[in-house]
Structure 1
Amino acid sequence: MHKIWRLTNVLLKMSYAEWFASKKKVALYLFSYVMLLGVGFIFFGTMSYGVYGVFAQYGQQKALLGIGLAVASIWVFLTSVTSVLTVFYYEDDIENLLPLPLQPSQIVTAKFLTVLLTQYVLSSFFVIPILVIYGVLSGAGIVYYLYSVVIYATFPIIPLVLISLLLMVLMRFTNLSKNKDRGRLIVGLFSILFVVGINVFMQWNNRSASQEQVENLLTGGSGEILVSMTTYFPTTYFAATGLSQYNTAMGLLYVLIFIVISMMAFILFYVTAQTYYLKGVIGLSGGVAKRKKVGTAAYEKQVKQTSKWLTYVKKELRMLMRTPAFFLNCVIQGLTTPIIFFFAFFQQNGSIEWMKRIVTNPDQAGLALGVAFCAGMFLLSSNMTATTSFSRDGSSWFVNRYLPIAPQTILFAKIFASWLVSVSILALFGIVMVALVKVSLLFVTLWFVLCLNGLWLTNMIGVRWDAKTADVHWENEQKLFKGRYTLLWNLLVNFLIAAATVGIVLVLYFILHAGIWMTFFVLLFVYGIVNVIIVRALQVDAENILDNVQ
Structure 2
Amino acid sequence: MGKMWTILKIMVKMQLSMAGKSNSEKAGYGFLFVFMIPFGILILYTLNTMIGTLYTNLSPTGNENVILGLLFVFITFIFIFVSLSTVLSSFYFAEDVESFIALPFHPYQIVIGKSAIPFLSLYGINTILLLPSLVFYGIHSESGLLYYLFAIIIWLITPVLPFVATAIVVMFIMRFANISKNKDRTKVIVGLLGFAFAIGINVLLRLDSEGSNGAGMTELITEQNALLSLVTKFFPNAYLSSITLTDPNSITGLSFLLLLLGVAVLSIILFMTVGQQWYFKGVLGLSGGKRSTFKGTDLTKQTKKKSLLYSLWQKEIKTILRTPTFFTQIVVQSLFFPLFIVIILLLEGNGSLSDMATMINGWADKTKLLTLFAFTIIGLGINPASFSSISRDGKSWFNHLYLPITPNTVIMSKLLVSFFLNGLSLIILSVVVLFFLNVPWGIWSLWFIASLCVSWVTSIIGLLLDLYQPKMNWTDEREVFKGRMIGLFAIGIDVIVFGVLLVILWFAPIFSNTASTSLFLFSYLLICVGIGQWYLRKMTKDKYTSVI
How does the TM-score come out when normalised to structure 2? 0.81
Question: What 5-or-longer segments of structure 1 have no aligned partner?
Answer: none
Q: Is the 8 A contact 1:48 1:64 kept in 2?
A: yes
Q: Which region of structure 1 is more displaced relative to structure 2, 321-330 or 271-280?
A: 321-330
Map residues 153-232 of structure 1 onto 2, 5 A cutoff.
153-174=156-177, 176-210=179-213, 213-214=216-217, 216-218=219-221, 220-221=222-223, 223-232=225-234
Are 1:319 and 2:319 counterparts? yes
Change (3 A) 1:545 1:79: same
Partner in structure 1 of residue 362 of structure 2: 363
Deviation at residue 44 of structure 1 after TM alignment: 4.9
Q: Distance in 2 between matches of 1:466 and 1:18?
A: 20
Residue 181 of structure 2 contacts residue 291 of structure 2 at CA under 8 Å; is this kept in 1? no
Task: Please state if 1:419 is matched with 2:419.
Answer: yes
Counterpart Cα distance in 1 of 2:128 and 2:260: 22
Return the TM-score normalized by structure 1: 0.81
Query: For the structure 1 residues 156 and 318, does the alpha-carbon distance in structure 2 shift closer, same or farther, using more than 3 Å as the test?
Result: same
Aligned mates of 2:115, 2:504 — CA distance in 1: 43
Query: How many positions carry a matched residue from both structures?
Result: 542
Change (3 A) 1:295 1:260: closer
Structure 2 counterparts to residues 517-528 of structure 1, below 5 A: 527=525
Higher relative contact order structure (alpha carbons within 8 Å, sequence separation ≥ 6): 1
- Given the alignment of the two structures, is residue 538 of structure 1 paired with residue 541 of structure 2, yes or no? no
Alignment pair present for 1:113 and 2:116: yes
Identify which of 285, 288, 304 aligns with 1:286.
288
- What's the secondary structure of 1:235's corresponding residue? helix
Q: What displacement does 1:454 show?
A: 2.9
Residues 324-364 of structure 1 show CA distances to partners (whole Å, capped at 9, x for unaligned) of 44334322454346545765xx4597547524532343225
Contact 1:468–1:548, Cα closer than 8 Å, also in 2: no
Equivalents in 2 of 1:25, 1:74: separation in Å? 30
For the pair 1:489 / 2:492, whether they are aligned, the reply is no
2-side partners of 1:113 and 1:516: how far apart?
55
The question of whether the paired residues in 1 share the 8 Å contact of 2:342 and 2:432 is answered with no
C-alpha distance in structure 2 between counterparts of 1:284 and 1:532, whole Å: 45
- The offset of 1:451, in angstroms, is 3.4
Shift of 1:96: 0.9
How far residue 158 of structure 1 moved from its aligned partner, in angstroms, is 1.7
State whether residues 188 and 323 of structure 2, in contact with CA within 8 Å, keep that contact through their aligned partners in structure 1. Answer: no
C-alpha offsets along residues 261-285 of structure 1, whole Å, 9 cap, x if unaligned? 3332232222222223332332122
In the alignment, is the contact (CA less than 8 A) between 1:4 and 1:109 conserved in 2? yes
Q: Which has the larger radius of gyration?
A: 2
Q: 1:151 aligns with which of 131, 151, 154?
A: 154
Partner deviation per Cα, 1:35-54 (whole Å, 9 max, x = no partner) = 55355446555544433332
Q: 1:335 aligned to 2:339?
A: no
Distance verdict in 2 for CA 1:237–1:474, change over 3 Å: same
Shift of 1:145: 5.2
**Residue of structure 2 in register with 1:3 after alignment:** 3
Aligned position for 1:474? 474
CA distance in 2, matches of 1:492, 1:187: 29
* Alignment partner, residue 271 of structure 1: 273
Give the letter aligned to residue 543 of structure 1: K
Query: Is 2:382–2:494's contact at 8 Å kept on the other side of the alignment?
Result: no
Q: 1:67: Cα distance to partner? A: 0.9
Gaps of 5+ in 2: none
Q: How large is the Cα RMSD of the aligned pairs? A: 4.3
Q: Check 1:323–1:170 CA distance in 2 against 1; reply closer, same or farther (3 A cut).
A: closer
Structure-2 separation of matches of 1:379 and 1:66: 28
- Secondary structure of the structure 1 residue equivalent to 2:235: coil
Identity of aligned residues (%): 27
Q: CA deviation at 1:391?
A: 0.9
Q: Relative to 1, partners in 2 of residues 1:8 and 1:300: Cα closer, same or farther, differing over 3 Å?
A: closer
Residues 47 and 386 of structure 1, relative CA distance in 2, 3 Å threshold? farther
Aligned to 1:396: 396
* Match status 1:386 vs 2:386: yes
Q: Specify the alignment match of 2:84 in structure 1.
A: 81
Note if contact 1:454-1:527 (Cα within 8 Å) is conserved in structure 2.
Answer: yes
Q: Please give the alpha-carbon distance, in whole angstroms, between the structure 1 residues aligned to 2:99 and 2:463.
A: 32
Rounded Cα–Cα distance in structure 2 between residues aligned with 1:155 and 1:122: 11
Query: Cα–Cα, structure 1 residues 179 and 223, in superposed 2: closer, same or farther, change >3 Å?
Result: closer
- Give the 3 Å change call, closer, same or farther, for CA 313–257 of structure 1 in structure 2: same
